């Protein structure tokens, strides 16, 4: 579904993505973690060409992103994205936020778009909030509207960039629960998050990035419990307070 082949990107002289090679199958859930500045957001944004790469290739659902004939509006309709800060249209209701793009891009009638939005609002537990403006919603509710808005385009892939890191702790689970149900329904998802519980429940693979590189890819236990790289071990011990077990300690 998504294939990175030796993808490289620079911001001026700063090499932010280094020889990224990764293949993500349809229905897979990939969690990306790593320190701030590692290139996680940039990597995610290259998938819908919000950031172009300078070298290498990315293929999404058969579309070569380097090919100038690849239609960006079409690509972005296939690849939904949810951001840390929700990015809802502030002057539109929850319902309008959801119906806008399907009407404009997918050509749905007002009635069709509204019916689709009602179903999605129900699915994210917000039927009763459809006429609320973003400022009247909690962060957790805004993020659930943002997810519904992305899903309204019926994307093939969903990208999430730290979707819960701007939320108060008690609101995190209501968003993660929506994401978990989406994962269980078979959605292809690429999620930048440090929510280890989410990763353990639904991630097929975890990618650890540092300094523009993919250092390790493995199952959640591979990466969280038994990482190979020293950098991964250090990161896990800092972020998740997982003790570093060195081989010497294990032998004792
Ligand atoms: P992460 O999401 O892992 O924290 P980012 O992908 O946001 O990392 O950033 C990777 C590196 O690229 C960082 O050093 C960041 O400062 C730099 N960077 C990100 N966006 C830009 C930009 N638009 N212009 C210049 N440098 C950028
Ligand atoms: Mg980021």
Ligand at minimal distance from the CA of 83 is 2
| Residue 39 beta carbon below 6 angstroms from any ligand 1 atom | yes
Q: What is the pLDDT of residues 40-82, one digit of tens each?
A: 999 999 999 999 999 999 999 999 999 999 999 999 999 999 9
pLDDT for the residue 239: 82
pTM: 0.94
For residue 104, the CA-to-ligand 2 centroid distance in Å is 29
Instruction: Phi first, then psi: give them for residue 200, nearest 5 degrees.
Output: -65, -35
Ligand 1: does its nearest atom lie under 6 Å from the Cβ of 46? no
Q: How confident is the model at residue 243 (pLDDT cuts 50, 70, 90)?
A: low
pLDDT at 187: 98
Per-residue model confidence (pLDDT) at position 158: 98
Q: Which ligand is nearest to the CA of 162?
A: 2
Q: Is 38 in the pocket of ligand 1 (CB under 6 A)?
A: yes
What are 147-190's pLDDT values in tens digits?
Answer: 999 999 999 999 999 999 999 999 999 999 999 999 999 999 99
Residue 201 and residue 183: Cα distance in Å, rounded?
10
Three-class secondary structure of residue 22 per DSSP: strand
Residue list, CB under 5 A from ion ligand 2: 41
Which numbered atom of ligand 1 lies nearest the CA of 162?
2
The tens digit of pLDDT for each residue in 113-135 reads: 999 999 999 999 999 999 999 99
Sign of CA dihedral 124, 128, 131, 133: negative
Q: Which tokens in the block code for residue 163?
A: 């979707």
């Amino acid at each position: 579904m998504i294939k990175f082949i030796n993808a490289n990107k620079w911001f001026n002289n700063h090499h932010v993505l280094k020889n990224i090679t990764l293949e993500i199958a349809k229905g897979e859930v990939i969690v990306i973690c790593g320190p701030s500045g590692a290139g996680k957001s940039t990597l995610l944004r290259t998938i819908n060409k919000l950031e172009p790469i300078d070298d290498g290739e990315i293929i999404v659902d058969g579309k070569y992103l380097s090919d100038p004939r690849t239609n960006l509006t079409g690509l972005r309709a296939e690849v939904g994205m949810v951001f840390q800060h929700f990015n809802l249209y502030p002057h539109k209701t929850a319902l309008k936020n959801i119906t806008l793009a399907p009407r404009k891009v997918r050509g749905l009638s007002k009635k069709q778009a509204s019916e689709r939005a009602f179903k999605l609002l129900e699915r994210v537990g917000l039927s009763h909030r459809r006429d609320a403006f973003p400022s009247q919603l909690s962060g957790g509710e805004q993020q659930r509207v943002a997810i519904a808005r992305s899903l309204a385009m019926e994307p093939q892939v969903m990208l999430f960039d730290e979707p819960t890191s701007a939320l108060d702790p008690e609101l995190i689970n209501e968003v993660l629960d929506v994401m978990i149900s989406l994962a269980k329904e078979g959605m292809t998802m690429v999620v930048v998050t440090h929510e280890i519980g989410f990763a353990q429940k639904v991630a097929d693979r975890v990618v650890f990035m540092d300094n523009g590189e993919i250092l390790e890819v493995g199952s959640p236990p591979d990466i969280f419990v038994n990482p190979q790289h020293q950098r991964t071990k250090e990161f896990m011990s800092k972020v998740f307070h997982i003790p570093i077990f060195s081989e010497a300690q294990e032998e004792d």
